Amino acid sequence: MTYQYDLFVIGAGSGGVRASRVAASKGYKVAVAEGSALGGTCVNIGCVPKKLFVYGSEYGHGFEEAAAYGWQHQGVSFDWSVLRDNKTKEIERLNGIYGNLLNNAGVELIKGYASFVDAHTVEVNGQTYTAERILIAVGAKPFIPEFEGNDLVVSSNEMFYLDSLPSKALVVGGGYIAVEFAGILNGLGVKTALAYRGDQLLRGFDQDVRNFASVEYVKSGIDVRLNTDIASIELLDPQQPEGARLVHFKDGQSEEFGLVLYATGRVPNVDTLGLDKANIITGKNGAVVIDSNFTTSVPSVFALGDVTDNIQLTPVAIKEAMALIDYWFDGKPVNFDYDNIPTAVFSQPAIGTVGLTEQEAQTRGLDFRVYQTDFRPMKHTLSASTSRSLMKLLVNNENDKVIGAHMVGDYAGEIIQGLGVAIKAGATKADFDATVGVHPTSAEEFVTFSETALKKRD
Ligand code: FAD
């Protein structure tokens, strides 16, 4: 049987762009369907615009601290439309770059949403396309629970295009997207409350990191409300659909907010894909089920990235795409290593983490020790800021290997990337000790941990 394409990719996001352009450059005839902007979530409504907003919002605290360094900042004001529109211009520039990358690699771009007809055929805008292999790389979308008034909230998607900023906002959720947006809004001068129904933010992170970060968020001005759930939301004035929202909490309290952002998780983007037409099996939340070679229940169909509901990060989707290419072209079975993936939360302060948390090490029954310190970073010593940083290192007692590094503080994302290399390479505590620190930095704490920093564990 001959097909129009060797490979048809559905979704030109982080994973889809990488897979399609590398496959095309290696000789495959490739088409990619994209229903929205090129680059996917990360470029358009995720990592990139979010980080630009974080940069923008950090000036809010920066101006306050600058006074202690001699800077006068009276009359400073912030114009949301400038940040939003400059961000959009930058994203459009990136969309163009992605278009060129695909074009130069010889990938055919088909604009529109694709759905399955059968195991080798998809349909886009009423036209069918056949391919020997089909790759599902459609990502995920925000999940907003069912409740009265859920049409009055926004998701992270809308945050990048708000007409104006409210004076007071409520962010609902406890994951990284929730704490990042709470930090952005707070830094931009919005009175921000962060409500989470659990008893601590950032489930899955190291418990000390969670507790420490939560305290720092409060110090930075965010009104963190734990064990807090929303019952319903209504318009304060039904005549003003864009006006204030009246939020009724489950404890009986009610409060007005100009904006309510729900950052309560993401689910695979599979609703309109017609997976059943090709008998592709899905699991929890609609995630496409794959084997270790990214193959679905149908041998001609593959899936990677957020749609598989594994670790939802851009570099993971990209590395998965490269592993799949090796599988197709070199016949190497994929053995994707999901351990020791460094990651950052761009909250304020930021979090960087790689390897095991103390709780994970404990659950695995490891014999390990923990070095931990928290301190006032030099940058904050001249100002009245009470902001502190936390650093934590887990070491396996059996072989002296560092098995986890965690940080809350400025530049945590930048610092943890380097530690990720060391931990991936199997560095021991002795290797860390033998490394000369860069002085004066916060990062040098990671190579100067002595016995006095040993944490007493139960
Ligand atoms: P995506 O990049 O989501 O791409 C999927 C593409 O498929 C989209 O362009 C979509 O339009 C398209 N599509 C969907 N259905 C169809 C269809 N039927 N036909 C055609 N096209 C279709 N990750 C990090 O590593 N660092 C971060 O700091 C970070 N910050 C984030 C912040 C936010 C607010 C969000 C929402 C996500 C963030 N992420 C971050 C996660 C990151 O964006 C995702 O992990 C990554 O984009 C997943 O890549 P993907 O290829 O699986 O899917």
- 3-state SS class at 110: strand
pLDDT at residue 396 in the model: 98
pLDDT at residue 332 in the model: 85
Give me ligand 1 centre to Cα 137, in Å: 9
CA distance 45 to 157: 6
pLDDT at residue 300 in the model: 98
The tokens describing 174, both together, are 């406890």
| Nearest ligand 1 atom, CA 140 | 3
pLDDT at residue 435 in the model: 98
Query: Virtual CA dihedral for 208, 209, 211, 214, nearest 10 degrees?
Result: 170
pLDDT at residue 349 in the model: 97
Give me the phi and psi of 435, to 5 degrees please. Answer: -85, 130
Give me ligand 1 centre to Cα 140, in Å: 6
DSSP bridge partners of 406: 353, 392
Give me ligand 1 centre to Cα 336, in Å: 20
CB atoms within 10 A of CB 151: 7
- Give one word for 429, left, alpha or beta, with left for phi > 0 and alpha for psi -120 to 50: alpha
**Residue 22: DSSP 8-state:** H
Contact predicate 30/333, CB 8 Å? no
Name the residue at shortest CA distance from atom 46 of ligand 1: 314
Judged on CB neighbours under 10 Å (0-12, 13-18, 19+), 303 is: buried
| Nearest ligand 1 atom, CA 33 | 20
Give me ligand 1 centre to Cα 14, in Å: 7
Our mutation pick for probing the ligand 1 site, out of 154, 314, 341, counting the most ligand atoms within 8 A of Cβ, is 314
Where the chain has pLDDT below 70, the residues are 458
CA distance 264 to 419: 30
List residues near ligand 1 (CB under 6 A).
10-16, 33-36, 40-42, 46-47, 50, 113-114, 137-139, 156, 177, 269, 272-273, 305-307, 312-315, 317
Name the residue at shortest CA distance from atom 23 of ligand 1: 313
| Nearest ligand 1 atom, CA 13 | 4
- 3-state SS class at 396: strand
- 3-state SS class at 136: strand
Contact predicate 306/317, CB 8 Å? yes
Place of tokens 């069912």: 146
Task: Give all domains of the chain, ordered by start, each with its CATH number.
Answer: 5-141+267-330 (3.50.50.60), 150-264 (3.50.50.60), 343-453 (3.30.390.30)
Q: Kindly calculate the radius of gyration of the chain based on its CA atoms and give it in whole angstroms.
A: 24
Q: How far apart are the first and last CA of the chain?
A: 65
263: nearest Cα among 185, 343, 207: 185
**Residue 299: DSSP 8-state:** T
pLDDT at residue 14 in the model: 97
| Nearest ligand 1 atom, CA 112 | 20
- 3-state SS class at 404: strand
Condensed to tens digits (0 to 9), the pLDDT of residues 20-76 reads: 999 999 999 999 999 999 999 999 999 999 999 999 999 988 888 899 999 988 888
pLDDT at residue 456 in the model: 87
The tokens describing 154, both together, are 């926004």
Our mutation pick for probing the ligand 1 site, out of 32, 43, 138, counting the most ligand atoms within 8 A of Cβ, is 138
Q: What is the DSSP string of 232-265?
A: EEEESSTT-TTS-EEEEETTS-EEEESEEEE---
Helices (H) and strands (E) counted in the chain, each on its own, are 11, 21
Give me ligand 1 centre to Cα 366, in Å: 35
pLDDT at residue 217 in the model: 98
Asked about 406 being catalytic, the answer comes back as no
CB atoms within 10 A of CB 357: 20
The long-range contacts involving 165-168, CB below 8 angstroms and separated by at least 24 positions, are: 165/80, 165/189, 165/190, 165/259, 166/190, 166/257, 166/258, 166/259, 167/191, 167/258, 168/192, 168/193, 168/256, 168/257, 168/258, 168/259
